[in-house]
Amino acid sequence: MCLTGVDYFSTLGYQPGIAFLAAGALSPIATLVLVLLTLFGALPMYRRVAAESPHGDGSISMLENLLSRWKGKLFVLALLGFVATSFIITITLSAADATAHIIENPFVIDHLHFLHHRITVTIFLIAALGAIFLKGFKEAVGIAVVLVAIYLVLNVAVLVTCLYEIATNPAVVWSWKATLFQTYRSPFLMIGTALVLFPKLALGLSGFETGVVVMPLVRGDHELSKDELEAIHTTRSARVNDPTAQELLRGRIQNTRKLLTTAAVIMSLLLVASSISTTLLIPAEEFRPETLTQEAGKANGRALAYLAHLYLGDIFGTAYDISTILILWFAGSSALAGLLNIVPRYLPRFGMAPAWARATRPLVVVFTLICFLVTILFRADVDAQGGAYATGVLALMTSAAIAVTLSARRRGEKIQWVFMLISLVFSYTTVVNIIEQPEGIKIAAIFIVAIIISSLISRVYRSTELRVESVELDDNAREFIRQAAKGTIRIITNRCDSGTPLEYELKEKEKREDNHIPPNEPILFFEVTPGDASEFSGVLRIAGEKVDGYRVLRAESPAVPNAIAAFLLYLRNETGKLPHVYFGWSEGNPVSYLMKYIAFGEGDTAPVTHEVLRQAEKDPEQRPVVHVGG
Q: What is the identity of the amino acid at 472?
A: E
Query: Per residue in 422-432, pLDDT tens?
Result: 899 888 888 88
pLDDT classification of 578: cutoffs 50, 70, 90:
very high
Q: 521 or 383, which is more confident?
A: 521
Query: pLDDT at position 410, please?
Result: 85
Which segments of 485-624 does DSSP mark as H helices, in order? 501-515, 560-575, 590-600, 605-616
Q: What global pTM score does this model have? A: 0.69
Burial of 505 (0-12, 13-18, 19+ CB in 10 A): middle
Task: Please write the tens of the pLDDT for every residue from 470-500.
Answer: 899 999 999 999 998 888 899 998 888 888 8
- Looking at residue 443, its pLDDT comes to 82
Q: Which of 342-351, 474-483, 618-627 has the lowest mean pLDDT?
A: 342-351
Q: Is residue 237 pLDDT above 50, yes or no? A: no
Residue-range domain boundaries for the chain: 2-461, 468-629
HEC string of 515-552? Answer: HCCCCCCCCEEEEEEECCCCCCCEEEEEEEEEECCEEE
What are the CA-CA distances from residue 392 to residues 75, 96, 203 (Å)?
A: 15, 18, 10
Question: Could you tell me the maximum CA-CA distance found in the chain, to the nearest angstrom?
Answer: 105
| CA–CA separation, 465 and 142 (whole Å) | 40
Give the pLDDT score at 244: 59
Q: Which residues pair with 546 in a beta bridge?
A: 551
pLDDT grade, residue 565 (50/70/90)? very high
**Whole-number average pLDDT of the chain:** 81
* pLDDT over 70 (residue 379): yes
pLDDT at position 364 over 60: yes
One of 1.10.10.10, 3.40.50.2300, 1.10.8.60, 1.20.1740.10 is the CATH number of 2-461, namely 1.20.1740.10
